[in-house]
Chains A and B, each alone.
Chain A
Amino acid sequence: MPTPSRRTFAVAALAALVLPLSACGSSDDGSGSTDASGKVEGDITFQTWNLRANFKPYFDGLIADFEKKYPGTHVKWIDQPAEGYADKLSADAAGGTLPDVVNVSPDLLAPLVKAGLALDLDKAAAKYRPEYLDGAWTGQQTPGVGGTYAFPWYLNTGPMFYNKGLFKKAGLDPDSPPKTYDELFTDALQMAQKSNGKVATLANVPTVEDFGRYGVELMNKQGTGFAFNDAKGVELLTKYKELYDAKALDPQALTATPESSGKKFLTEAVAMNPGSALDLENFKKQAPNLYKNIGITDQITSTGHVNMYVMGVMVNSRTKHTPAAVAFAHYVTDAQNQMSFAKQVAIFPSTAGSLDDPYFTKEDGTDETRVRIAAAKSLKNAVNYTPVLFSDQMKTALRNEVAKALQGKESPKAALDNAVKACDQLLQQQG
């Protein structure tokens, strides 16, 4: 047997080194079909966003029903934790391993649309459009790109929790929590004064959604640049600075995360905190004293519109089984399944007419139903205040400038001007 020469060996070694690399670097650019009219069959993967822990039986049943309805299909369900979801999506998208059907919010959807990774449902599944609320369908569109790229799924407003005991101690009416930002500022200053700065009312700095609910124009009319540095925006930030100076805003708010502010609320260091219906169970287990005193109210808003969180289900444009992926994404989000999911947890369907169901309109005397009916009512005129193109980097830019204003390192006007400038620059770089 001839011995391989050095050159042969060198070439072999180089190939061994380079071949795996080429596999790493190449992305699967073989686009899948946009035609969803074929036979519904094949194996597909479905990814949800932090839903397995609480809703496993629901999704197991949903998948089993789909597979029964369409023999020859197999759905593999994967669930990702809430934290780092965007990073997981970006790693999968860059590595060409994005699942066939993916749970996304509009801001996560936009970059995937721009990269050509989401299937245009206006082309592939236009017949389903009338089944959904018009606003929910258009909510899955990305500015500057034609088409709709996800089936609308559930809507939510997210309640505001408050601690009735702390309200009482501060001489505030526990049954009349603040509804508007002006009421919030007055109550928060009183709370800080009565507790000698030991109890703050809020644990978080204002986000872009706060600016929206205060009535600030977030973007210009053309949608080409941000505009939250107007007089109204400056007014909101100035008020927050007053809260921060009076310790009505927690001193650690500048570095707070949703988890840390949730903990502050649990330990009764802050009196109000936004949350979701799932938090109630958490309060019951971890802070029984707080649970006894818990109050639930609507989000603070000065516009009359609360913020609406919209979830969607997109289809990977590179799926090998377009008909099955589209059929499953529609199945998950159709009126019947959205309604049965809404009965599992306090979320609201985005399908036309569902919110008129007696489940969302008829009182039965329980607090739970009262809260549900109120939320469904406020959803009818809710607004998704999160600009679709507002990326994580923009959130950080705004947050850092807000922090500078609260610390007094910059005036509120200068801070917001800088934030708008930074966000506009990032927007341009997004292309």
Chain B
Amino acid sequence: MATSTVSRVRRQLPTSPWLFAVPGLVVTGVFILYPFVSTVVNAFTDRRTLIPGRFVGLANFRELLHDDMFWIGLRNSALYVLGVVPALVLLPLLLALLVQKNIPGIAFFRSAFYTPVVASIVVVGLIWVWLLDERGLVNSLLETIGVGRVGFLSDQWLLLLSAMAVTVWKGLGYYMIIYLAALAHVPRELHEAAAVDGAGAVRRFLTVTVPALRSTMVLVAALSSVAAFKVFSEVYLMAGPTGGPAGEDTTLVMLVQRTGTGLTGRVGYASAISLVVFVVTVALMLLVLRADRREDA
């Protein structure tokens, strides 16, 4: 009896796990694989929102090379990575070190630093727009102390910087939690040994904490660089749908949205831009992982 049951289970084994996986596979297929394949196919067509496309080969990619707005988008997305990633690798680590200690009231600070993470990006974006407005709180303070009004939301570079600041501010808590988890695994004995050898706080940070957290820092760099390259909400909310003055703050994902949506959207061309975003994102991940591997070697 037992033998026949076992053999029946064995016969059915190749099928059963797949049956359990079907719901997940369907969801993945419908919401990830199909849109992805569809985007790749569309990138080689002149499809519009309501008009089916014809195959146009590499025409969309050739057009990209001569599209000023594409280069502006690529520049801004790249600048976003350069501006945001170092800040998001270092600042949450410092915050994590600050709140790591179990002292009275520290839970309040941990919660406070994490609050922006759970806040809606739209709400956060609007609050910052009000703060940085020409007549907002920040400009009123600057005017009071004699600096005068600063065009945070009207100058293309200040706008981009302001959006980066919001991204960093909103992301600090999230990465701080990742670092806190990693810090809990750094052996206390290492710090004690370094202290006995006469290492100060800074030296211990550089020679004990940083090497112990290197793989976590790589993870944070990889996650934040992908998120930064694909930035949309912060810039859209602060710079407006046009992407700042003359569209100079447009990022690549904003360009995809602007080009490919609406009744006259150029779905084919927007798909080509999406494909570029995908390739660059994968390249960024590979670059970070490669840098990590080289360090290991």
Chain A contact residues, CB within 8 Å of chain B: 3-4, 6, 9, 13, 16-17, 20-21, 24-25, 86-87, 89-90, 93-94, 108, 111-112, 114-115, 117, 250-252, 254-257, 260, 267, 269, 391-393, 396, 399-401, 403-404, 407, 409, 426, 429-431
Is the C-beta of B4 less than 8 angstroms from some C-beta in chain A? no
Q: List 9 A-B contacts (CB under 8 A).
A: A13-B22, A93-B49, A252-B153, A252-B154, A391-B263, A392-B262, A392-B263, A393-B266, A400-B246
Is the C-beta of B30 less than 8 angstroms from some C-beta in chain A? yes
A114 and B51: CB pair below 8 A? Answer: yes
Q: How far is the CA of A111 from the CA of B46 in the complex (A)?
A: 16
Partner of B30, one of A3, A20, A108, A257: A20
Q: How far is the CA of A255 from the CA of B151 in the complex (A)?
A: 12
What residues of chain B lie closer than 8 Å to A250, measured between beta carbons?
A: 134
Partner of B135, one of A93, A267, A429, A430: A267
Q: How far is the CB of B137 from chain A (nearest CB, A)?
A: 13
What residues of chain A lie closer than 8 Å to B258, measured between beta carbons?
A: 393, 396
B263 and A89: CB pair below 8 A? Answer: yes
Q: How far is the CB of A15 from chain B (nearest CB, A)?
A: 11
What residues of chain B lie closer than 8 Å to A111, measured between beta carbons?
A: 49-50, 263-264
Task: For A255, give the chain B residue with the smallest CB separation.
Answer: B240
Partner of A20, one of B26, B51, B261: B26
What residues of chain A lie closer than 8 Å to B18, measured between beta carbons?
A: 9, 13
Task: For B37, give the chain A residue with the smallest CB separation.
Answer: A21
Q: How far is the CA of A16 from the CA of B25 in the complex (A)?
A: 9
What residues of chain B lie closer than 8 Å to A93, measured between beta carbons?
A: 49-50, 263
Is the C-beta of B55 less than 8 angstroms from some C-beta in chain A? no
B247 and A400: CB pair below 8 A? Answer: yes
Contact with A along B214-252 (1 / 0, CB 8 A): 000000000000000000000000011110111100000
What residues of chain A lie closer than 8 Å to B19, measured between beta carbons?
A: 9
Task: For B28, give the chain A residue with the smallest CB separation.
Answer: A17
The segment from B8-16, B101-109, B179-187 that touches chain A is: B8-16
Contact with A along B12-44 (1 / 0, CB 8 A): 101100110010011001100010001000000
A86 and B262: CB pair below 8 A? Answer: yes
Known: A393-B258, A393-B259. A407 touches B245 (CB 8 A): yes
Is the C-beta of B116 less than 8 angstroms from some C-beta in chain A? no
Task: For A17, give the chain B residue with the smallest CB separation.
Answer: B29
Chain B contact residues, CB within 8 Å of chain A: 11-12, 14-15, 18-19, 22, 25-26, 29-30, 34, 38, 46, 48-51, 133-135, 151, 153-154, 159, 239-242, 244-247, 258-259, 261-266
Known: A4-B15, A6-B14, A255-B154. A396 touches B22 (CB 8 A): no
What residues of chain B lie closer than 8 Å to A431, measured between beta carbons?
A: 51
Q: How far is the CA of A13 from the CA of B14 in the complex (A)?
A: 13
A430 and B264: CB pair below 8 A? Answer: yes
B30 and A401: CB pair below 8 A? Answer: no
Task: For A6, give the chain B residue with the smallest CB separation.
Answer: B14
Secondary structure call for the B interface? loop
What residues of chain A lie closer than 8 Å to B134, measured between beta carbons?
A: 250-252, 269
A3-B12, A255-B154 given; name 9 further pairs at CB < 8 Å. Answer: A21-B34, A108-B263, A251-B154, A252-B133, A254-B154, A254-B242, A254-B244, A391-B263, A429-B48
A16 and B246: CB pair below 8 A? Answer: no
What residues of chain B lie closer than 8 Å to A404, measured between beta carbons?
A: 246
Q: How far is the CA of A409 from the CA of B51 in the complex (A)?
A: 37
What residues of chain B lie closer than 8 Å to A269, measured between beta carbons?
A: 134-135
A21 and B30: CB pair below 8 A? Answer: yes
What residues of chain A lie closer than 8 Å to B245, measured between beta carbons?
A: 254-255, 403, 407
Known: A3-B11, A4-B15. A87 touches B262 (CB 8 A): yes
Q: How far is the CB of B284 from chain A (nearest CB, A)?
A: 28
What residues of chain A lie closer than 8 Å to B15, measured between beta carbons?
A: 3-4, 6, 9
Partner of A112, one of B14, B261, B263, B265: B263
Task: For A260, give the chain B residue with the smallest CB separation.
Answer: B240
A255 and B153: CB pair below 8 A? Answer: yes
B246 and A409: CB pair below 8 A? Answer: yes
Q: How far is the CB of B156 from chain A (nearest CB, A)?
A: 9
A17 and B26: CB pair below 8 A? Answer: yes
Task: For B33, give the chain A residue with the smallest CB separation.
Answer: A17
Q: How far is the CA of A59 from the CA of B18 in the complex (A)?
A: 52
A396 and B263: CB pair below 8 A? Answer: no
Q: How far is the CA of A349 from the CA of B217 in the complex (A)?
A: 65
Q: How far is the CB of B148 from chain A (nearest CB, A)?
A: 11
B30 and A255: CB pair below 8 A? Answer: no
B50 and A90: CB pair below 8 A? Answer: yes
Q: How far is the CB of B268 from chain A (nearest CB, A)?
A: 10
B246 and A403: CB pair below 8 A? Answer: yes
What residues of chain A lie closer than 8 Å to B26, measured between beta carbons?
A: 16-17, 20
Q: How far is the CA of A25 from the CA of B42 in the complex (A)?
A: 13
Q: How far is the CB of A86 from chain B (nearest CB, A)?
A: 5
